[in-house]
Chain A
Amino acid sequence: MPVLLVVGFIAFALSDFVGDPVLLYLGQDQTQEQREALIRQLGRDRPIFVRYADYVWGVLHGDFGISYAAREPVGQLLMQYLPATLELAGIASALAVAVGVPMGVYTAIHRNTLLSRVFMIGSLIGVSLPTFMLGMLLILVFSVWLGWLPSFGRETVLSPVLPAVTLAMFQMTMIMRLVRAEMLEILRAEYIRFARARGLSDRAIHFSHALKNTLVPVMTIIALQFGGIVAFSLVTETVFEWPGLGRLLVKSVASADGPVMSAYLLLTALLFVTINLVVDLLYFAIDPRLRLPRGGA
């Protein structure tokens, strides 16, 4: 909660200081009377703290103010753009986890095989390549040369493929490297040796005993990465002209649209706070050491 209030204030200050709505609404040919009437109408003649309280009150009721540029309620505007971003982030995260985790496990178990080395080198490229660069490369190969996949927009079923892969690449390689590092650590643990001494199969040891222990720290990163994907997908969305929140933000920055920027900021903060909460709850579900001991020790 305190986090949200602080972010709320910053967001409010942003919308208050960036761009003068009066100027935006009235244009150059304004009269002094028009100006003052509008300032009163918008409530901008009141002290800043009163206006902040007003803003918080509004936000709590789902009212983020009116976009200067679109002249629509910001809430509605966000709702228009949010689904596209969530779709993209969801596909990208699922892809990153579905490919990254098995690759991490594989490279940890078969450390010295050729395939592991290829994965590891590939992951270095994945981590270091900037998103826009990767996006453009993918467009070049799959849209321009091969013509298999659409390079922009969100019209067909195949539209999300390229932007999702672009967005997932960084997360995927990160998850892979993280899973590998954790897994290598855990495979040295005494209980893994004991599990081998009990004659369990390699499969049970790797995928049940080791992986479950690996996932506790990896989960945090995956969840925070999801927040990151949603919040910072603006580069990818710009490259692929994906009609999501990132695009909305870029547009609103261009037009100095304060209310939209602050609402975006608030939404992002809310997302991260929620994700942190969910991760903490997941810890509880997975790791019995965090639960309070019930019934004697």
Chain B
Amino acid sequence: MPVLSVRDLVVEFPNRRGVARAVDGVSFEIDPGEVLGLVGESGAGKSLTGAAIVGLLPPPGRIAGGAILLDGERIDALPPHRMRAIRGRRIGMIFQDPLTALNPLFTVGQQLIETMRAHLPLSHRQARERAIAWLAEVGIAAPSMRVDAYPNAFSGGMRQRVAIALALCAEPRLVIADEPTTALDVSIQAQIVALLRRLARERGTAILLITHDMGVIAETADRVAVMYAGRIVEIGSTRAVIDSPSHPYADGLMASIPSLDRPVDRLRQIDGAMPRLDAIPAGCAFHPRCPSAFDRCRVERPELRDVGPTRSACWLGQGHG
């Protein structure tokens, strides 16, 4: 059974002029120990998908349709106190900016201890011992000393390690990592990604890795889902999506990754910008920017379907071209 199963998720933001659909019918599953990468431009709805899963949509956002199942149990309509018991305990979260994610007035030990004690039946002393063990696990030197240090005594990369310890310390089944490396130095990104992946492997924790960085995805994810304007346009194994993307948007995205073995003069770019939520075009949302768009793309919206190694939402190669 998959750890997480998202079915036809719809996230809406009511506003004065009506309702904006930020996530529109997204479905995917993640198995134990698997890393699913969710990629796309800013505003594609990937972070909101993550926020919807943990029940922390920024107001006035709301889940307007679909279902979210954690270990087979529906969690999308739970009352707040039950959702709180799931957050941290069964779903851990890692945010983008480690410099602001930790409370500056509490020691890292205090923050680890309160998280564990909120979810696990531990005495203060046991929790403290575990906190030290966790700091060691995420690669903090001299953990029994650093446990009493405040976040300001840690560098950005070290703080992200602490944040990973915080997300994992109650041993959740699923970790949602929302742009975990974006705010870090390039030299540290790889370490953080490797750490996250190793910890998840060892514990069988599933990871939803939200990022716009294809490099991070290529290194870490088992499978990739590419989002555009609130919908998944292509999903499949990382290798297949990177090597032979079939959706033109995914293709454009992959072509924008620089490669070490194939020298290129200029990286390709996708012209134009993603549509605003209140002006999503009819048919395929990508058609105004698509180099291969034809009549059908402007009228009818394509659904995801199997196209060889991946599943893609595109009319190309479906009878007419």
Contacts and interface: CB of A to CB of B under 8 A. Distances in A.
A245 B200 CA distance: 68
A137 B101 CA distance: 49
B87 A286 contact: no
A194 interface: yes
B242 interface: no
Interface in B222-254: none
A191 B101 contact: yes
Interface string B100-125: 11111111000000110011000000
Contact of A194 (B101, B114, B145, B170): B101
B93 interface: yes
B153 A286 contact: no
Which of A204, A216, A288, A297 has most chain B Cβ within 10 Å?
A: A288
B150 A198 contact: no
B153 to A, nearest CB: 6
Contact of B102 (A191, A204, A295, A297): A191
B54 A289 contact: no
Interface residues of A, number: 26
Given A209-B103, A213-B103, A198 B88 contact: yes
A196 interface: yes
A195 interface: yes
Contact of B105 (A190, A193, A195, A212): A212
A293 B88 contact: no
A196 B87 contact: yes
B104 A193 contact: no
Contacts of B167: 197-198
Nearest to A291: B150
A289 B114 CA distance: 21
B118 A204 contact: yes
Contacts of A201: 84, 118
A191 B95 CA distance: 10
Contact of B93 (A194, A204, A289): A194
Contacts of B87: 196-199
B161 interface: no
B257 to A, nearest CB: 29
B150 A289 contact: yes
B152 interface: yes
Contacts of A287: 104-105
A213 B152 CA distance: 15
A213 B104 contact: yes
A274 B102 CA distance: 34
A189 interface: yes
A138 B170 CA distance: 55
A120 B119 CA distance: 37
Contact of B118 (A191, A194, A199, A286): A199
Interface residues of B, number: 34
B41 interface: no
Interface string A203-238: 010001100110010000000000000000000000
A289 B149 CA distance: 11
Contacts of B107: 288
B233 to A, nearest CB: 28
B163 interface: yes
Contacts of A253: none
Nearest to B110: A208
Contacts of B84: 196, 199-202
B88 A200 contact: yes
A200 B113 CA distance: 11
A293 B154 CA distance: 10
A288 B107 CA distance: 9
Contacts of A199: 84-89, 115, 118-119, 170
Contacts of B166: 194, 198
B12 interface: no
B124 to A, nearest CB: 15
A197 B150 contact: no
Closest 9 CB pairs of A and B: A199-B88, A288-B150, A197-B93, A190-B100, A199-B87, A198-B88, A194-B101, A191-B103, A198-B115
Interface of B: 54, 56, 84-89, 92-93, 95, 97, 100-107, 114-115, 118-119, 145, 150, 152-155, 163, 166-167, 170
24 contacts: A189-B100, A190-B95, A190-B100, A191-B102, A191-B103, A194-B163, A196-B87, A197-B56, A197-B88, A197-B167, A198-B87, A199-B84, A199-B88, A199-B115, A200-B114, A200-B118, A201-B84, A204-B114, A204-B118, A288-B104, A289-B104, A293-B153, A297-B153, A297-B154
